[in-house]
Structure 1
Amino acid sequence: MPTSAQKLSGVVPPLVTPLTPEYDVDTASLVRLLEHQLTGGVRGVFVLGTSGEGTFLTDEQRQTVLETVVSEVAGQVPVLAGAIDASTARVGAHVSAALKAGVDAIVATAPFYAATHPAEIERHFTRLASVAGEMPLYAYDIPPRIGGTKLPAAMMIELGRQGVLAGVKDSSGQETSLRRLVLDRADAGLDDFAIMTGSEVTVDSALSFGVDGVVPGLGNVDPAGYVRIFDAVAAGDLVAARAEQDRLFRLFDIVDIADRSRMGASSAALGAFKAALFLLGVIACPLTAYPSIPLDDDEISGIGDLLDRAGLR
């Protein structure tokens, strides 16, 4: 396993990609978003993932995001880059571009679109690790985005044992399998294999049973809140951790504000994160990338009410 970086832990939000009204990358807003995260105490940032609309951006836009973030972070925390595409060759090209930009780690899903066998998924990650070289490679376990494929715990543990994977971001929403993965890691003696949850609403419990950290989309909006949960659990104060998680659980209602009869769930959730950041003055425009449908003024106003309830304005 690559040893060039410390084990990933703590709060590592998957950053949104701010866009201008012309749908270009808004680098000024991206810089403000980074300042918002670093001030909040995060231990890393993850760009070009699901929240970052990485699969919706052109290669040129992706490169702009990578170069802007690496330059602005300037080594203060690790920068993880999503390398997500349908085939190993295409993902490998994204890995190479991220390496040139100077990121600290890669996060990749299994291949999708074509039906794949577990043996082919293993080949996929093994090939990507060879492209990444000494840079840590993390698996992104997100079944709804890749044709329903759930990465088997035994596969991830074995790839960790082989030094192919440095860890996993589990966004499956399956708490039982996540807990089993933590136990399997312990049985395998893979202390350096990082396990991060992608669930915004069960962070306190996941940390309590041994997960190393969280990659929360809602962390774009309130990174400091998630840092407080992490710190409280680390200090053994589970009452404080639960209270903060309960507040963020209520704030997560922003993803239900948009009218689902006129847009998809992804548009509603990501649009809510961007609208909240817009209302907080962090980004200049709440637009999401095509073909996502933007939130209307009434929906954005409703998100403002929830920000007020959460004590963020």
Structure 2
Amino acid sequence: MVTPLRGPDEIDFDGASRLIERLIEGGVAGLFILGTTGEAPSLSYRLRGEFIRFVCKTVDKRVPVLVGVTDTSVVESIAVAGVAADAGADAVVLSMPYYFPAGQTELVHYIRRLVPQLPLPVMLYNMPSLTKVNFDIESLAQLTDLSQVIGVKDSGGDLAYFERLTALKQQRPDWSVLIGPEHLMATSLGLGGDGGVNGGANIYPKLFVRCYQATRDGDQAAETALQNQIEKLQAIYLVGKYASRHIKGTKSALSILGICDDKLAEPFNHFEPPERARVAEVLESLNTDLIE
């Protein structure tokens, strides 16, 4: 879920409320806040706490809420997890600290030290492009004995890796293994995955829920039609030239649809009119019967 903003350190509460209701009405199985699409590293700890409490109160246990607690500081990760637990969240999502890359031995030791200090179940998050560290399969295998760890979200985009990751469910059949790149969700289910944490579902939740269900049901025709729409939607992430274009494209689309503001956390800017028009063109090209 994106973090709707009105200013550099101010939540767009009206927009956040509309987005939450759209997601739940769209059939999503849960909300993951303060992740990559949620711009967590750019947000103040005050705002993160405020957003956690608002989302948990608004959701009111209708679906699970997972809260990202990844930080460069162990102390701050624990503090944000405490806020999440007090607010009624269901789990936290943890990746490795970014900036200084860690080795695999350090990764394993870090998770083993930190997880017992967290007050909620933990979903591990493999995001090597931004953390500069990959959760090697061998490292994750060493962590399967931690009962508090309930699964892994993988945003690496390597399907061979993902298939090896799902094999760890032989040791931990209770694990949920979820994929990040939304265009790979349907394929990932055939490799033993359990679902997707899809940024595009902010915009059209029913599209992704329907694709998931069609794939699970073995409805090849429906899956193909829905996957085609998902592939078309990917064009919004190619607008602009900076790495922040994925979040810009998502928030621009939400703004065009009248759901929430398109402001980003500093130092990033929202799309200007030419880029916004290109996002609108992509949305207009989609089949409304399949996405809404």
* TM-score of the two chains, using structure 1 as the length reference: 0.88
Instruction: Report the aligned-residue RMSD.
Output: 1.5
Unpaired runs of at least 5, structure 2: none
- Per-residue deviation, residues 179-229 of structure 1 (Å, max 9, x unmatched): 11112323x2x1101100001111111112210010011111111111001
Partner of 1:165: 149
In the alignment, the residues of structure 1 paired with residue 247 and residue 2 of structure 2 have an alpha-carbon distance, to the nearest angstrom, of 8
Residue 89 (structure 1) aligned with residue 75 (structure 2):
yes
In the alignment, the residues of structure 2 paired with residue 106 and residue 296 of structure 1 have an alpha-carbon distance, to the nearest angstrom, of 35
Higher relative contact order (CA 8 A, sep 6+): 1
Partner of 1:175: 159
In the alignment, the residues of structure 1 paired with residue 110 and residue 177 of structure 2 have an alpha-carbon distance, to the nearest angstrom, of 20
- Asked if structure 2 preserves the Cα contact closer than 8 Å seen for 1:67 and 1:101, the reply is yes
SS in structure 1 at match of 2:153: strand
SS in structure 2 at match of 1:81: strand
- Per-residue deviation, residues 8-65 of structure 1 (Å, max 9, x unmatched): xxxxxxx101111465111111010001101110000000001111111111110111
Residue 271 (structure 1) aligned with residue 248 (structure 2):
yes
CA distance 1:278–1:115, change in 2 (3 Å): closer
Residue 75 (structure 1) aligned with residue 75 (structure 2):
no
Residue 57 (structure 1) aligned with residue 43 (structure 2):
yes
Shift of 1:114: 2.4
CA distance 1:68–1:153, change in 2 (3 Å): same
In the alignment, the residues of structure 2 paired with residue 239 and residue 182 of structure 1 have an alpha-carbon distance, to the nearest angstrom, of 26
In the alignment, the residues of structure 1 paired with residue 103 and residue 286 of structure 2 have an alpha-carbon distance, to the nearest angstrom, of 45
Unpaired runs of at least 5, structure 1: 1-14
SS in structure 1 at match of 2:5: coil
SS in structure 1 at match of 2:263: coil
In the alignment, the residues of structure 2 paired with residue 127 and residue 218 of structure 1 have an alpha-carbon distance, to the nearest angstrom, of 34
In the alignment, the residues of structure 1 paired with residue 53 and residue 73 of structure 2 have an alpha-carbon distance, to the nearest angstrom, of 24
Residue type matched to 2:73 in 1? S
Of 124, 134, 146, which residue of structure 2 is paired with 1:139? 124
Partner of 1:216: 198
Q: How does 1:185-204 map to 2 (within 5 A)?
A: 185-186=169-170, 188=171, 190-204=172-186
In the alignment, the residues of structure 1 paired with residue 8 and residue 130 of structure 2 have an alpha-carbon distance, to the nearest angstrom, of 27
Shift of 1:297: 0.8
Shift of 1:120: 1.9
- Per-residue deviation, residues 205-260 of structure 1 (Å, max 9, x unmatched): 111221001001111111111100111112111331122111111111001122x1
* TM-score of the two chains, using structure 2 as the length reference: 0.94
Residue type matched to 1:305 in 2? E
- Stretch moving more, 26-35 or 16-25: 16-25
Aligned residues: percent identity? 29
